Structure 1
Amino acid sequence: MKEKLRSIYNTLDQREKFVLALYISILISPVIPVLILAWMGIQSVVQRQFNWKVKAWPEGFFLLLMAISLLSWVLEPVYYYGIPIVLIPMLTFFLYYTLSLWVKSLGWTWRQIQRVYLLFWLLGLYPAVVATLQRLGWFPMYKEPLLFILGYYPLQNISHTRVVATALNSNLAAAMFICLALISIYAAYVLTVKWQKWFALACFFFYCTTIWFTGSRGAWVGLLIGLLVQVWMTGNRKRTVGLFLSLVGLAALVYTNRTLIPREETLFATAKVRIGVWQNSFQIFLDHWALGTLPLRFGQLFYERTGDTINHAHNTFLSVASEYGVAGFVGFCLLVVLTISRARRWRKDAILRVEKRLAGMLTSVVVALLSHGMYDHPIQTPQIGLLFFFSVILIHDQYERSRPHKLSS
């Protein structure tokens, strides 16, 4: 393992090391990824080292949301503590845009991507151990500036019932562990030594345990669908159906049994709250269907309507629709459909099974986070948003490299 880690690091140039540092920082803190991503964005502008693309995917999607945000704010200027709220989505999607240009300029092969994800998977044991210590009550949950930088900083002081690991809340921690669990299945396939395969399977069950520690019910849905997508992308239909039936039974048991998930409220109490949030969010969308409300404005409107403090619609698709209007919603749906379609074409063009499995793993991460997002909006935060969009960018990058002649024509 040490030799593998050393070989991974030694083969990277300076720009690749910054991308790797950005991706690894997701596991450590919700703050550090933002700082690294901002630095990469500044370097992209100062050095002018990229060809600024408009029509490519997903760059065109990021530019679309930037344009929608600017137009929405111009028509309805809103400030948050004296700061134009348009700055946050504009900067966020500009940084994602430069990240896409940066990653595509590296010219990574699928083997290099595999190495990065295996390293990410191994280092993922760090937040998993933190989550375990939090569950045992051996790790502090109170707010301190140093702990915030290191990742041990929940949004609010909470009991040890639901862990947050190195994320801002338990749902975001669950989203991180979903991705790590899915990568474990891929690692169990690609690693050749027998003990390494058993270690990968052990990591899968360990990450599943940490998902249980978070108390997130929606995370189990995301993991279930992610596993199905990963098996489906292998082309084995019988195995997909068998896994689906067995996992549905297990998920139904875990999802409905209050004693199996460490949280106080019942499933029906949670569903009642979520439905209320969705109904009010949909009304906000109807009132601002053209260009949306923008993220911070959504929370203000929701408070004016209900008196409750809710920052998003607790559903990824509904959040995009309410915050960026019909155009943003359509653009997001196109991005999802095109990403899955290109992942399948990349898998079809790949010769080696290992590369085909890599396409399946990246697709499973994207779909799992979207499935988890049916009950929350984890990709809104930079920490989980980077996990999602990094996978999306790599899928489009590998597709473009597998079909250069067709894209140029």
Structure 2
Amino acid sequence: MLKDGNGNNVNRYLRFRPEVIDDFTDKGYLPWTYNAIDELNYSNVLNNENLIRLNASLKARILDWLSFNLSGTYQTNISDVENEDELQSYATRDRLNRATSISSNGRLVHGIPLGGIYRTSDAKSKDYSVRGQINVNKIWNNIHSLNIIAGSEMRETKSKNYSNTLYGFDDDTYLSQVVNPTEYYQTVFPWEEQIGSYDNAVRNSKKRYLSYYSNAGYTFLNRYTASASIRYDDNSIQGAKRKDRARPFWSAGLRWNIKKEAFLEAVKVISNLNLRFSYGIGGSIPTTSGAFNSTIITITGNDNVTNRTLASIIRPANDKLSWETTKQFNAGVDLGLFKNSVNLNFDIYTKKSSGILYNMPFNGTYGYSNLMYNAASLYNHGVELGIQTALSKNNFSWNSNPKSRQAFCIICLLMVLMVIPI
């Protein structure tokens, strides 16, 4: 309940019991109650963000069947966040009250200056990428058709962010008071604390990516097609060797356009019929799951007592990690009926994933009870059936794309096979 029966805002006692909070208020502490409606006026967040993105491309035709593309993208993002908790806000009153004690002569001693708490954070990021690609599209005597693309892409992302906190902030004069983050003060509890410094560092990040790729397809008599693709990716993972960062992956496929065969051209009901097979190997590097091949150390700032740099080991080195790989085989049939008003798809696939990262128990005496290992594998197979329809006549049209209509699709396939001459 936010308001009582008379329409007044309801105050909540959160930190202590009502009688304890009332006693603190009588001694001169700031009001220690919480009111959700009042908080809307005393806690303010302002977020300014500017995004600039530039794209450029260049295409050059070397021969009728050979061309070259060069493209690039540059993007910068600047974010500025201001967060002010005024003196009347509960967050500020709670922080100041907890940092307030009573001296031997009965006077209040404030460990944190009275006033608002003003926080700012700034973040900048830049991202650029450059891609060069060669395109081949060659046809010989309407018999042979060759399509090839090959290229490389480079990308870099950089980010920088920092924050700052001001105490005793006056939103009329925009002035604050100087504090010593390493000095201890007596709290309302029977122990001492210090303001501390959690925003005295500038955080920088830089990542680079490099890719090589190629796709090729050859078609004979507009009926038989063979295709293949290969891709090689590398990136600047901290501490990892090149063989652990990058690995080539590939795929290959065959397609037979049966509709172009002489024995099927006379069948008007069938407008399209393709038989296809494909096999490929893909993978992902172990970064998104929090697993790295090298020790990752983070620097969090300076110690408030010794003023020495603070660092912690986030993850220990694990040279047993490698890529997660997936091998997949697929066989399918695509069938179009009645000028492609009805399209049927039938696929059989098998898929095996190896080296899946799994959090395994580890000897806790080394400081970590669990570590990531390529310890899991997954195998699945299945059948996919689908139908798509697009019918129109005069001012009436109907489209559908149902999934998993297995029985209906099988019946349709059997009906079509019955009309194919043998």
- Taking structure 1 as the reference length, the TM-score comes to 0.15
1 or 2 for the larger relative contact order (CA 8 Å, sep ≥6)?
Answer: 1
Structure showing greater Rg: 2
Structure having the higher helix fraction is 1
- Taking structure 2 as the reference length, the TM-score comes to 0.15
